[in-house]
Amino acid sequence: MTELLYLDSRARRRLAYRHRPGRGPAILFLPGYMSDMEGSKAAALDSWAAAEGKAMIRFDYGGCGSSCGEFEAQDLDLWLGDVLAVIDELAQGPVVLVGSSMGGWLMLLAAMARPLRVAGLVGIAAAPDFTRWGFSEEQKARIRREGRLAEPSPYGEAPYVTTRAFWESGERRVVLGREIPIDCPVRLLHGQADSDVPWRISLDLAERLRSADVQTILVKDGDHRLSRPQDIALLTATLTALMEPM
């Protein structure tokens, strides 16, 4: 395992990261909501990068994992700033962003903000605009009224918390519903048994992307995490093919 390091970014946020040197473009893994760089997909991808001699960076957003800050003080704008800080201050040369769930939303925003640095995108159950379609009207009203929504999480003991600040920042950053000005190659992996992010979101996203080099791969029995051995094999095969001409 690579050493745990800290980036004291120009945005004055102390971000934990692990950097594996190797051939570029560097793979930058973007975790999902309430996740971190030690998750099973990130760890498996790092092991693959080590075996293949590829450069990889994984990190924790502010308020998550080993990074500094309080989780409920974060929002999508701050986390996008963290992604851009890692691209600007850690990565050298082009990067390929691999975004899981909410990380798939952030990869789109980062690619639009840094078009000359982002060489490719791989989404894993990408969840752009989930503040819009992922909550009922009753839940949205409660977030606005009470300032937060806490619900049981199927992935751990800690409740799944959404703050009004995060929800409002997401509403300011929606991307679906119009052309998305991204021109690099994009690969979208999505399980059709995903109970959290409807797989048709990836079809909608593929249609909206301006890039002509977009492929959507549906896994009929795949769940939201896509972390089984066969799912990891699909991810690494997809990355291999995507990065071969780079």
pTM recorded for the entire structure: 0.97
pLDDT number for residue 98: 98
Compute how many other C-beta atoms are within 10 angstroms of the C-beta atom of residue 135. 17
Sequence spans of domains, the chain? 5-130+177-243
Burial 36-75 (b: 16+ CB within 10 A, else e): bbbbebbbbbbebbeeeebbbbbbbbbbbbbbebebeebb
pLDDT number for residue 155: 76
Cα three-residue angle 225-231-233, rounded to 5 degrees: 145
**How far apart are alpha carbons 162 and 130 in whole angstroms?**
11
Report the topology of domain 5-130+177-243: Rossmann fold (3.40.50)
DSSP class of residue 105?
H
**How far apart are alpha carbons 42 and 37 in whole angstroms?**
6
pLDDT number for residue 242: 98
Bridge partner residues of 180 (DSSP): 209
CA-based nearest residue to 60, from 28, 23, 107, 12: 28
Helix spans in the chain (H)? 40-52, 76-89, 102-113, 130-133, 137-146, 164-172, 200-208, 229-243
pLDDT tens profile 156-182: 788 999 999 999 999 999 999 999 999
Q: Which residue has the tokens 């503040």?
A: 131
pLDDT number for residue 39: 94
Cα three-residue angle 91-20-219, rounded to 5 degrees: 90
pLDDT number for residue 7: 96
As annotated, the active-site residues are 101, 194, 224
pLDDT number for residue 156: 75
pLDDT number for residue 153: 81
Q: Which residues of the chain are modeled with pLDDT < 50? A: none
